[in-house]
Amino acid sequence: MLKKLKQTALRSLKSAGVSALVQDSRWRRQRLLILAYHGISMFDEHEWNGSQYMSPEVLRGRMQQLKRSRCAVLPLGEAIERLYRNDLPDRAVTLTFDDGWADFYHRAFPIISEFGFPVTLYLTTFYSDYNRPVFDVVCSYLLWRGRARTLQAREFIGEEASVNLTANDAREAVLRKIRDFAAKQNLSASEKDARAAALAAHLGVDYDELLQRRVIHNVTPAEAKDLSGRGVDVQLHTHRHRTPLDRELFLREIEDNRRRINEITGKNPTHFCYPSGVYDPKFLPWLSEAGIKSATTCEVGFASPASLPLLLPRFLDNNTMAPIEFEAWLTGISLALPRRPSPARTLAGERI
Ligand SMILES: [Zn+2]
């Protein structure tokens, strides 16, 4: 209902010419819209998680809107420099993709490159090297695929339970237990992979097919190298998709990630994105110490010259957003309307 009202309001603002005034305003020119994406479906992932996965068709529609709206799509580094010099062009936008999913290589980049837009890929490198489905995330997907079933959960949660997977809440609850049990047992990456394969077998999902389709896999190092060679800006997202509160461990995450990206692309990344959008004030001096020039969050908003470079907000696009709402973000008129709180920020939280 709110969504409908909002869309009606946006249409009225557009036909009254207010959107056009905002999009060409000095206010908008001083702001950068950093768009954030995660996965673009290899198969049916957007039906499972429409806030983190988008269909290729919807992404193509977004790229067409960027072009039609005459947005200036800038590379991240240039956009940030110009933001702080107060030298942005009209309707400045930057494209960022988190995690480094294989679907970026197979689905997103072919579409983006048709439009010639620059794009940043924040790459978490552990699951590039260990190229199997990302455990915490694939378990969620498997439970959804098996939603018509009842799971005999002992093997996966360490206690007797018979879980009907029809309801979202039941799947969420058992997912937490599956992750906690694997963490408590301190499973290695390959042990977790074996457990995910066993879960797939229990739920009647063909795990080999997921492997073949590269569903919920990261890009391989060879794919990341190829992307970098074709102009994709590969940047930091930690090695293991986590931000420990201990300084040494935090810096190790950055260094391991930087070293791998450097080995893969031959370039030295200096921009960072907080995994799962999680940040703490104590990270800021550590990031400066590590030579990081910018860091993006999952806080929703435009970046302005008043934003801290190490806490830049973004706009998380999603599969269910109507084109008129997306357009309202490109113009800036969206800020005039009430918003719901940010959707769930994380795909997985701790993933390894
Ligand atoms: Zn991430």
Average pLDDT over every residue of 210-234: 97
Task: Tell me the CA–centroid distance for residue 255 and ligand 1, in Å.
Answer: 17
Residue 194 has pLDDT above 80, yes or no: yes
Residue 342 has pLDDT above 80, yes or no: no
Task: Tell me the CA–centroid distance for residue 276 and ligand 1, in Å.
Answer: 5
Task: Tell me the CA–centroid distance for residue 251 and ligand 1, in Å.
Answer: 17
Question: What are the backbone dihedrals phi and psi of residue 69, each rounded to the nearest 5 degrees, phi first?
Answer: -80, 0
Task: Tell me the CA–centroid distance for residue 161 and ligand 1, in Å.
Answer: 31
Question: Checking phi first, is residue 269 left (phi over 0); if not, alpha (psi -120 to 50) or beta?
Answer: beta
Task: Tell me the CA–centroid distance for residue 275 and ligand 1, in Å.
Answer: 4
Task: Tell me the CA–centroid distance for residue 237 and ligand 1, in Å.
Answer: 7
Q: Which tokens go with 142?
A: 């498997």
Q: Tens digit of pLDDT for each residue in 222-233?
A: 999 999 999 999
User: Which of 180, 181, 179, 146 is CA-nearest to residue 163?
Assistant: 146
The model scores a pTM over 0.85:
yes
Task: Tell me the CA–centroid distance for residue 219 and ligand 1, in Å.
Answer: 14
For position 341, what pLDDT does the model report? Answer: 53
Strand partners, 236: 123, 272
Task: Tell me the CA–centroid distance for residue 336 and ligand 1, in Å.
Answer: 29
Task: Tell me the CA–centroid distance for residue 5 and ligand 1, in Å.
Answer: 32
pLDDT band for 335, please (50, 70, 90 cuts): confident
Task: Tell me the CA–centroid distance for residue 29 and ligand 1, in Å.
Answer: 29
Task: Tell me the CA–centroid distance for residue 61 and ligand 1, in Å.
Answer: 24
Task: Tell me the CA–centroid distance for residue 314 and ligand 1, in Å.
Answer: 14
User: Which of 47, 28, 21, 65 is CA-nearest to residue 322?
Assistant: 65
Q: Kind of pairing, strands 233-236 and 120-123?
A: parallel
Task: Tell me the CA–centroid distance for residue 241 and ligand 1, in Å.
Answer: 6
Q: Which tokens go with 298?
A: 């999952």
Length of the chain: 352
Which has more confidence, 15 or 80? 80
Task: Tell me the CA–centroid distance for residue 139 and ligand 1, in Å.
Answer: 16
Minimum mean pLDDT range among 205-209, 226-230, 313-317, 340-344: 340-344
Task: Tell me the CA–centroid distance for residue 204 and ligand 1, in Å.
Answer: 28
Mean pLDDT across the chain: 93
Average pLDDT over every residue of 100-121: 98
Task: Tell me the CA–centroid distance for residue 238 and ligand 1, in Å.
Answer: 9
Residue 77 has pLDDT above 50, yes or no: yes
User: Which of 101, 118, 22 is CA-nearest to residue 66?
Assistant: 118
Task: Tell me the CA–centroid distance for residue 150 and ligand 1, in Å.
Answer: 30
- DSSP codes joined into one string, 291-307: T--EEEEEEES-B-TTS
Task: Tell me the CA–centroid distance for residue 227 and ligand 1, in Å.
Answer: 18
Helix spans in the chain (H): 2-15, 18-23, 26-29, 45-48, 56-68, 76-85, 102-103, 109-115, 126-129, 135-145, 154-157, 168-184, 189-202, 207-213, 221-229, 247-265, 283-289, 323-331
Task: Tell me the CA–centroid distance for residue 327 and ligand 1, in Å.
Answer: 25
The burial class, CB within 10 Å (0-12 / 13-18 / 19+), for 248 is: exposed
Task: Tell me the CA–centroid distance for residue 223 and ligand 1, in Å.
Answer: 18
Q: Kind of pairing, strands 162-164 and 150-152?
A: antiparallel
- The residues, any chain, with a CB within 8 Å of residue 350's CB and separated by 6 or more, are 136, 179, 183, 241, 242
For position 351, what pLDDT does the model report? Answer: 35
Task: Tell me the CA–centroid distance for residue 315 and ligand 1, in Å.
Answer: 15
In the chain, pLDDT over 90 holds for what percent of residues? Answer: 86
3-state secondary structure of 271: strand
Average pLDDT over every residue of 198-224: 97
Task: Tell me the CA–centroid distance for residue 4 and ligand 1, in Å.
Answer: 31
The whole-angstrom separation of Cα 21 and Cα 138 is: 45
Residue 191 has pLDDT above 90, yes or no: yes
Number of Cβ within a 10 Å radius of residue 184: 9
The whole-angstrom separation of Cα 128 and Cα 123 is: 9
Max Cα distance, the chain (Å): 62
Task: Tell me the CA–centroid distance for residue 123 and ligand 1, in Å.
Answer: 8
Task: Tell me the CA–centroid distance for residue 117 and ligand 1, in Å.
Answer: 22
